[in-house]
Amino acid sequence: MANTSFTIYATDSRISKGLLAIPRRLSGEFPSTKGKILAVFDDGTRIEPKIYVPYTPKIKESRIFGLSRWFSKHGIVAGDAITITVEDSVKGVYRIALDRFVRRRRAAEARRQLYKADSPEIAGEQLRRLAESKKEKVQEIAFQEIALIAQRPLLKRKRVTVLQRGRAEAVPPALRALLEALHQGKCQVCDFTFKKRDGKPYFEIHHLEPDKGHHPMNVLVICPNCHAQLENATVTEMERVLGWLVAVRINGKRFRVRQPFVPRRLPDVVAMLTTLCIAARVAASVKGLS
């Protein structure tokens, strides 16, 4: 049976006193007499005894004391959501978790696993977990991650040996999952895709400069037909804006390339810069948690 959980919100008066106030309606989840309960914080395992005072008509609430250090550690402010889970009602063990801290830890772990994934399927699952922990859409998270990757320098593409023959290194699963989420599998040139038997969109990835690495500015999500043309036809006049390919001429015909990182209107520019700033701050906070 699932453990009972409920959410309360921090207030300035309780933070200053280093305590949590439990509403009367929830007092049945706690002991009926004054004493100590066992607390586990956030996603940790260490058990700490804390003083508990049950509801009385005078104070009109139950209270858990001795939380000043925890409040200070996380910079808890009024309005922060705190989830309390009854992990063992017999032994009196309660988990006290700051919601935003737990989400940050889960997001950091999902992000680490995303880039460690050895298949696009696993990477896609971690990408969904990352989006869920941040309460954002998968496509928006993919945009943020690719924007961060795009800030890295373009490196030479590695070669791998298969059956004594050299071939270009495959696109990392994490990047493939991010590109799929961002473009929904649709060709950046003609917008075509189709669903495979497993329900996922089919797409290929084309490297603009075959010997260069998997930098986002060097790859396109592409359909098989456009991929074949880019590989075999006469390709000229590759137009770039801010380093991103926005148009290409194939056998003399000009094709526009859909690029979400090249805004066409001023509001889009502002929105993109805001997203990049947020992504950079998230990356910095994730680095601090690792």
Taking alpha carbons only, the member of 4, 3, 5, 7 closest to residue 80 is 7
Sheet containing strand 253-256, strands side by side: 235-241, 244-250, 253-256
Q: Specify the fold of 4-102.
A: At1g16640 B3 domain (2.40.330)
- Tens digits of per-residue pLDDT, 241-290? 989 999 999 999 999 999 998 876 545 555 555 665 666 665 566 555 55
Residue extents of the structural domains in the chain: 4-102, 117-289
- If you average pLDDT over every residue of the chain, what do you get? 88
- Predicted confidence band at 193 (pLDDT cuts at 50, 70, 90)? very high
Taking alpha carbons only, the member of 171, 125, 121 closest to residue 146 is 171
- Tens digits of per-residue pLDDT, 140-174? 999 999 999 999 888 887 776 655 555 667 889 99
| 271 phi and psi angles, rounded to 5 deg | -65, -40
Overall residue count recorded for the chain in this entry: 290
- Tens digits of per-residue pLDDT, 100-116? 999 999 999 999 999 99
